[in-house]
Amino acid sequence: MSGRAAFITFEGLEGVGKTTNRDHAARRLAEAGIDAITTREPGGTDVGEQLRELMLHQEVSLRPETEMLLMAAARVEHLAQVIEPALAAGRWVLCDRYLDASVAYQGAGRELGVERVLDLHRLAGVTRRPDLTLLLDMPVAAGRQRAGARSAPDKIEREDDGFFARARKAYLDAAAAEPERVVVIDASRSLTEVQASINEALAALYDRLGTHDHALPGPGNGASTVPGQR
């Protein structure tokens, strides 16, 4: 295999299939001989997993500003401990949520302001930009219905429709501002159709990075994970 390692993020609201499709992408890359890890935010490190438990499952009230600061701190650790070492070792990184999620959820959903979130991350030294972001998009009501069918709602999933409408708009605004990075995928379609779109986006990135030993194969098995993954 030639070409450098890539950092791919999977974004979207609740219930759109981020983890399922991240794992599909990892299997596809594995069949092409590409060593890839999967990780998530919040999560991926001991600090991140503890923050995930606090934010999603513990009945502790956090101010929006506190939530934003904690997410940024966990991201700094995630980059230092997991993402950057993997990329330096030539391993592709597939991450369920990244900075775009903070922009959407804290910046827009919590109404702290997009630029405020971005300024904080610049101050924290978060400069790693994804090579590709797959934005799995569907209407708020449809995503909430899917999320509600799989398990009891966590604290984020219990937010009101206005929160998610603001977050969705921020995601779509990011896609409009950076079309070379963010690929919007209609997640309301069948899983087969969604994954066909993901395959196309992966193939385009594969070519752009100069990974030309052979074409990406069809879906298969095999992916590495970091601690805390499902």
CATH number at residue 15: 3.40.50.300
Count Cα atoms within 13 angstroms, Cβ side, for 210: 4
Residue 11 forms part of a structural domain: yes
Cα 181 to chain centroid distance, Å, stands at 13
For residue range 31-70, what is the model confidence (pLDDT) as tens digits? Answer: 989 999 999 999 999 999 998 888 877 778 889 999 999 9
Residue 89 forms part of a structural domain: yes
Residue 22 forms part of a structural domain: yes
Cα gap 203→218, rounded to integer Å: 11
Across 168-182, average pLDDT: 98
Residue 66 forms part of a structural domain: yes
Q: Which of 49, 163, 47, 147 is nearest to 106 (CA)?
A: 163
Q: Which of 23, 66, 2 is nearest to 212 (CA)?
A: 2
Residue 62 forms part of a structural domain: yes
The model's pTM:
0.89
Percent of the chain's residues with pLDDT above 90: 74
Residue 1 forms part of a structural domain: no
Q: Determine the structural domain holding residue 43 and report its residue range.
A: 7-224
Please report which confidence band the pLDDT of residue 105 belongs to, taking 50, 70 and 90 as the band edges: very high
Q: CA of 196: how far to CAs of 131, 151, 182, in Å?
A: 19, 27, 16
Instruction: State the total domains in the chain.
Output: 1
Cα gap 121→75, rounded to integer Å: 9
pLDDT at 225 over 80: no
Query: What local confidence, expressed as pLDDT, does residue 126 receive?
Result: 97
Residue 2 forms part of a structural domain: no
